Structure 1
């Protein structure tokens, strides 16, 4: 019923003037935000990270999308937890829906995608890197295999009586690695949860300061909150990839 992946990517690349090669790239959230901007023209594109590469950045983009849906009373649940995993099927289904929504609601007005995002880079990786929990599980699997090969290499031929000891050791290591992987996945979900809350606070503070600046006013409390949000530990330097975009600074 819906368009194919090839048709959707051709439409998306033409509309947004990007160079996506896979539907999975839409899982970063940036493209969905700008598609809605082409319809309504009021998406705060300065807060959308079009070249997002980390899950917490994907979540921040989807927060913007959720706000737009609420503002325009778009009655469609956004399966954020599925989409940010950058799986093809989940993003294909959502992109098919958003294309139908665009067909129904786009007014045919001219749209300048590059101008709206102020020339911000859109170099979302063609192959989305596995998220940390998956990486942990993959590393664990590699360690399991390496441990098994190592144990097999050390076991002397003909000494079958003691062959169960290396196997038991490997199984114990596998159990520990599974537990650590599960624990790490929980910690990362908790990190993303609190990051999303801080991001919401940051957006609210930014919006309030913009209103005050337009009225030639100031709020010391808001400035103090902003300083706390942007402060870093002594001796810590924010890496270039994680720096705040120029259009978002104050």
Structure 2
């Protein structure tokens, strides 16, 4: 299993999987209803992913799906780390970043988890695996999004209903109507802020991957440049042609034509290289 994990590098296609696809996969395979990647920050979802992939390896009775505090979340990640150690998976878990609920950090780790699970099971869901049953404790299913229950209940208690605003629950007017409208406006603003925050998170992920890809290919070009500057190759027409392309500022097509012209004047480039090596 360690080999599978080691092969998942930052340039792997796994890190280009979008947030919506990740959430759809989690919800479908684990029978959940996550709407944001940061809802998996407690580590419970990751534990169940490993339980789905390696049934019987994860001590599910130790996984707290109602984890709300950082201490409780850390306990879940300890379970996950123990599973990684048991399976000899060499993957460092950035626990301090994940439990903060940062979208980018959680998305990247979920992308890695999906890639790992697909590598092990070939992308095929185990039809005999019952995720809801595995989350059960004492015959009662625990809530994987439990840390949100408190905030939702609090919000429900603070927003007045029709009957609390007006005794008959029918007529609302004057200042009371304005209060309800104001509360509705606040709700819409919060939804817009949340949507924009998610878009920003996705853009950050996209920029991060683009920068990594840019650095990867820049490093390749730099290696080629260094090779062409070696004393034994510097004077070769082939090296001159390559540098012509590397150092082209604007008209790339023109540089390619000039480089091809340099190569075409050589009777046999391979023979020349062999001659110089001897």
> Please, what TM-score do these two structures have when normalized by structure 2?
0.44
The structure that has the greater radius of gyration is: 2
> Please, what TM-score do these two structures have when normalized by structure 1?
0.49
